[in-house]
Structure 1
């Protein structure tokens, strides 16, 4: 069973993603900011991280930088989610494999996960 770490400060979005992905057969772990996400990596090492870009405490850019700087986590694929345009995200950070625009459709989420896990 593949494990997905969902990182989003909007609890409703995290819960919807948890429900959707669990129904698809994934184990889902939730964190509400980048700092908590980095702490959770030791519990169940994820096969994929889905992360909001704008979060309190530690945002997506800082979290991506931390993930990339650690050899143990640098290879974990990351989906960045945001209501900002993809070009804006691409100008501010690197290291993600798929961009998912919020609000998203169920099919878009599943396509993004499938693509990132390939």
Structure 2
């Protein structure tokens, strides 16, 4: 089963994403900030893909991406950024991500992006 890590400090967003992803047959792990996200990535089995918010307390999305880029075991893990920031700003702060979805997004858009990214990883 493909497992997705949802990293978002908004509990309602994380809960809705978790429900939608589980309904679609994915395993889901959640984290409320980048530091917790890195902790979840250290667990076994490691998630196969990350849905990452940009603006969070403790450790932001860009900070988590930088930490992942510095770890040979995590640098190739696909990340989809979910953010309300302008896309240009996201691209400046989030180099090398697999996809960007701007908030508000639909469940269909998220699931489609996940399918595209996972297919491209094969």
User: What is the TM-score when the length of structure 1 is the normalising length?
Assistant: 0.96
The count of corresponding residues between Structure 1 and Structure 2 is 118
Query: Which residue in the other structure is 1:28 paired with?
Result: 28
| Deviation, structure 1 residue 107 | 1.2
Q: Is the contact made by 1:77 and 1:97 (CA closer than 8 Å) also made in structure 2?
A: yes
The unaligned stretches of length 5 or more in structure 2 are: none
Aligned-residue CA RMSD (Å): 0.8
CA distance in 2, matches of 1:37, 1:92: 18
Q: Deviations over 1:53-80 (max 9, x none)?
A: 1111000111001011101111110001
Q: Which runs of 5 or more structure 1 residues have no equivalent in the other structure?
A: none
What whole-Å deviation, never above 9, does each CA across 1:70-98 have from its counterpart, x for those lacking one? 01111110001101121111122302110
Q: Say if 1:68 and 1:95, in contact at 8 Å, map to a contact too.
A: no
**Structure 1 Cα separation of the partners of residues 93 and 49 of structure 2:** 21
Moved over 4 A (4+): none
Paired residues for 1:58-97 under 5 Å: 58-97=59-98
TM-score (norm 2): 0.93
Residues in 1 aligned to 2:92 and 2:30: alpha-carbon distance in whole angstroms: 27
